Amino acid sequence: MQNIMGKVRYNMALLVANVLFGANFSFYVSLTRYYFTFQQIFMMQVTTAAAFFIPFALFSSRSYRITVEDFGSIFIVALLVIYGWMYMLVWGGSCTSPIDGSTISTLGPVFTLFVARIVTPKSISWLRIAGAVIALMGAGVLLFDSGSSLVGDNVEGFGNALVLCAVVAIAANTVLIRPQLQRYSPTVVMGWYYIIGFAISAPFFWSEIAGINPLRLPIGPLFELMYVLVLGTVLPMWLLYVGAEHLTSIHTALYRYIQPVVATILSLLRGQSKIDRANIVGAILIFTGIVLVADGGALFTRLVSQRRRRRIIRE
């Protein structure tokens, strides 16, 4: 019973994290359109997360048991989180529509599968490979909907490409950092993320936010900014790693399907974007592909077992 309740808690953590992450896509667009550059939002996110998580690293005895090898892994993953994910995501999210950006963010299981295959060599069923190809075709529909080039006038395509880079980074992160999460706890590891992250971002971006006074904002944008910094960054990041510590990487990535639902509802209500043919086709291809990636191994095993049974019956 206790084991079941634990799994429910970890699944709820992932559920809430992805609901909160999903709203960010709408707020990125409105905040960067009228009030801030994406670099300013990025640096404010890093600073807020650093203020919250760094004390967990500094005042935990587990921090002083981190081996050199584990610190090297944490350092690499910190780069993936800070620049590969956070920076790319807010940059891309500010360029594209919330619907496109959040739909592309669900591609996590595809890249999680590839990274897991590299880290732990195992055979991949042809159904999973087919699913990955189908999902990437869906991403291609969204990337090239406005033109064959991702630069120039195709601003949304460029933004979608940046979001895709962020998805690759966070997928690699969830696979690579799992052993350290289990050894030292999510809050300690994240504290070191932001010690490293603040040190490598402040020299370049601190001047961007040095003169900002958020209290001068109108109440609506102030709420959006506070949401992005706290409810859209600090809380869901912690919940994400709580779930990732105890559940599989593919399982963790599947919860990203909640993000486009939240982002689409918000963007439609706020008049930021409309659902078009590319959104529908891209979402169908990505959803179909991810289902095959997530369940393809089990489905392949069932198909093989059925064939063997038929052969035995015939013989």
pLDDT greater than 60 at residue 300: no
pLDDT at residue number 194: 93
| Mean of pLDDT values over 208-237 | 89
Domains of the chain, by residue range, sit at: 2-314
Token code pair at residue 101:
């950006």
| Mean of pLDDT values over 257-263 | 85
pLDDT band (50, 70, 90) for residue 299: very low
Min mean pLDDT across 22-26, 222-226, 280-284, 290-294 is at 290-294
Min mean pLDDT across 101-110, 151-160, 208-217 is at 151-160
Proportion of the chain in helix, strand, coil states, percent, rounded to 5: 85, 0, 15
pLDDT at residue number 14: 84
- Does this model's pTM top 0.85? no
| 213, amino acid identity | N
pLDDT at residue number 304: 46
Contacts of 250 (CB under 8 A, 6+ apart): 109, 112, 113, 116, 293, 294
pLDDT at residue number 202: 93
Question: Which stretch of DSSP H or E encloses residue 19?
Answer: helix 2-34
pLDDT at residue number 152: 64
pLDDT greater than 50 at residue 114: yes
Token code pair at residue 242:
């709580």
pLDDT at residue number 43: 95
Min mean pLDDT across 6-20, 28-42, 89-103 is at 6-20
